Amino acid sequence: MDILDILLQASFWTAAIRIASPLIFAALGELICERAGVLNLGIEGIMVVGAFAGWLTVYLGGGLWFGVAVAMLSGMAFGLVHGVLTVPFGLSQHVVGLGITLLATSLTYYCYRLALPEVTSPPKIEAFQPLEITILSDIPVIGPALFNQTPLTYLAFVLVVAVTLVLYRTPMGLALRAAGEDPAAVEAQGLSVSAIRICAVMVGSGFMAVGGAFLTMSAFNSFFFEMVNGRGWICIALVVFGSWKPGKTLLGAVLFAAFDALQIRVQQTPLGADIPYQIFLMAPYILSILALVVMSRRAQVPAALMVPFNKGER
């Protein structure tokens, strides 16, 4: 039983893609915010909100896609708060972002206790089921990995393509990127930097919330505390790893997820018996940092990232 054997298993890649999916949503959301010039450190908390909102909607009898929509809207609401505080008011994006994370997380736990005061073990919901795409899923190894997933995973990949097209092929994307590169240029062309940035943060936060909802509605089928477990922070690094490009960010998410899936499997091999399991838990993070060092040295940071723009300032 070798690492090579693991890498050739279809089930390994299926797991990797599944682990990558929430990261793809959230990293894409973060990318949209940062491309417009706003660092959104609320990501971790917004993912918690999304996970809870989506799950609760379904638990209370709503449809699955309705749950995704509610998650997205609740994420956008926190995005609006973040956007208003950081863009027109120009407050520190670090402080506001961390504040949003703390607020969103605590508020979620509070609401959980309000909604389910008596519950000790979290109730399960009827979650998204894998949807096999015939013919394509018969391709060896990558077939089941890519074409036997839940609809939310397909949505994640579709969104990567859609965001790429919007960013590079439409006037809207041009305006958004310009807001993150040189807001004065945007204002000089008669567009509102504030409007563009707030909208970007809202949409981006909506994506993050859907990433959180993936955890409850497509992976664990129930909501429990600490389930987001730092995935938001990983996404911040993934955006840097991906040089602020959607395609490369997707690649980074899959790579990280593959490391994660690998370490679980290697723990069960004879090799795993000799080494403390904590080493394996660390491995994806260490490898991510190494990959980040290699990949992001030539990255082009949006020039106006974290630079507030004040119209008409002398």
Q: Which residue ranges make up the site for another protein (CB under 8 A)?
A: 169-172, 174-175, 177-178, 181-182, 184-191, 300, 302-303, 311-312, 314
Q: Hey, what are 104's tokens?
A: 């969103």
Helix, strand, coil % over all residues of the chain, rounded to 5 = 70, 0, 25
CB-based contact 175:257 (threshold 8 Å): no
Q: How far is the CB of 300 from another protein (least distance, A)?
A: 5
Residue found by looking up tokens 């429990």 in the block: 224
Cross-strand pairs, 149: 131
d(CA 271, CA 30): 37
In whole angstroms, the minimum distance from the beta carbon of 65 to another protein comes to 25
Sign of CA dihedral 251, 9, 229, 274: negative
Contacts for 302 with CB less than 8 Å, ≥ 6 apart? 34, 35, 37, 177, 180, 181, 244
Q: Which is nearer to another protein, 17 or 33 (CB)?
A: 33
**Quick one: DSSP state of residue 127?**
-
Interatomic CA distance for residues 39 and 32, integer angstroms? 10
Nearer to another protein, 132 or 187 (CB): 187
What is the C-alpha separation between 69 and 20, in angstroms, rounded?
21
Q: Computed from CA positions of residues 62, 222, 82, 305, in that sequence, does the dihedral angle turn out positive or negative?
A: negative
Distance in Å, CB of 83 to another protein, minimum:
17
Cα(130)–Cα(21) distance, rounded to whole angstroms?
Answer: 13
For residue 35, what are its two tokens?
């491309």
Smallest gap from residue 153 Cβ to another protein (A)? 26
CB of 196 to another protein, least distance (A): 8
Task: Pick the closer one to another protein by CB: 44 or 182.
Answer: 182
Following DSSP, what letter does each residue of 194-222 receive, concatenated? HHHHHHHHHHHHHHHHHHHHHIIIIISSB
> Rg of the chain over CA atoms, in angstroms?
20
